Amino acid sequence: MSLQKSGTIRVGIGGWTYAPWRGGVFYPDDLPQKNELAHASRVMTAIEINGSFYRAPTPAHFASWRDQTPEGFVFSVKAPRYTTQRRVLAEGADAVSGFVEGGVAELGTRLGPLLWQLAPSHRFDADDFAAFAALLPHKIGKQRLRHVIEARHASFHTPAFFTLLREHGLATVFTDSPDYPNFDEITADFVYLRQMCSEPQRATGYAPAALSALHRRATAWSKQGLDVFVYFINGAKERAPGAAQALLKKLAPG
């Protein structure tokens, strides 16, 4: 009988250019800003690119980021807002294909899930969401694509939403934010967490007990064969690197 292969757990932060991380907080005092991505990608195992929500990066940008990071590291990429911040999601076919075919494949083996963040005011419509889900390709060339949906309206907390996610092989964001619905349904072969409640008074962002609980959840999912992506974002953002490093320490073997 073959043993089930464990999934990979990756932990990181949102973006890498943030002034409060400089001056020894995360980046060394003498580190040139042009080297921040190279540094962060050798401390973290993943980064979620957030700036792409406001402006889609060029193929040259993606290629440069790929070349600055080590093998095994991955980027999640937030889709541009013009793909999802619309009343009728299904009308975004050209926007979706423009983004997916616009250079993200340049990341190659560094490419992690694509994050599609819906507007907080956007309500669940089964037909519209099904049509939108059908727009999301699962390959570009030979490159596999994974997609995660961040629905921010409580109306998505319905079995019909989870059924559609499973039918299309899409994941949903798990979050600890009190401002958005917290889904707890596994609908794909990976789990995607966006941790948003770090506290400024803690160097590690979260209390030890909270990090231990997160460690147990991630490890349990991995043992089920699921890949796990954990990003520390928002809250006290200056503490995000400390939180990610603390969780990575718990996950380290030995």
**10: β partners:** 229
Evaluate whether 156 touches 181 at the Cβ level (below 8 Å): yes
Question: For the stretch 56-89, what's the b/e string if a residue is b when 16 or more beta carbons lie within 10 angstroms of its beta carbon?
Answer: bbeeebbbebbebbeeebbbbbbbbbbbbebeeb
pLDDT for 141 equals 86
Distances (CA, A) of 4 to 80, 216, 225: 36, 19, 7
Kindly report, residue by residue over 95-139, the tens digit of the pLDDT: 999 999 999 999 999 999 999 999 999 999 999 999 999 999 999
Percentage of the chain beyond pLDDT 70 is 98
Query: Torsion angle of alpha carbons 96, 101, 102, 106, nearest 10°?
Result: 130
Distance CA 204, CA 133 (A): 37
- Tokens 């997160």 -> residue: 214
pLDDT for 1 equals 45
Closest CA to 224 of 189, 196, 172: 189
Distance CA 1, CA 196 (A): 41
Name the pLDDT band for 233 (thresholds 50, 70, 90): very high
Distance CA 101, CA 162 (A): 27
Percentage of the chain beyond pLDDT 90 is 94
Average pLDDT score, the chain: 96
13 Cβ partners below 8 Å, 6+ apart? Answer: 40, 44, 47, 48, 231, 232, 233, 240, 241, 244
Give the chain's domains with CATH numbers. 9-251 (3.20.20.410)
160 Cβ partners below 8 Å, 6+ apart? Answer: 124, 126
Pairing status of strand 190-195 against strand 143-144: unpaired
Evaluate whether 240 touches 204 at the Cβ level (below 8 Å): no
Kindly report, residue by residue over 39-86, the tens digit of the pLDDT: 999 999 999 999 999 999 999 999 999 999 999 999 999 999 999 999
8 Cβ partners below 8 Å, 6+ apart? Answer: 222, 227, 228
pLDDT for 254 equals 64
pLDDT for 234 equals 86
pTM of the model: 0.96
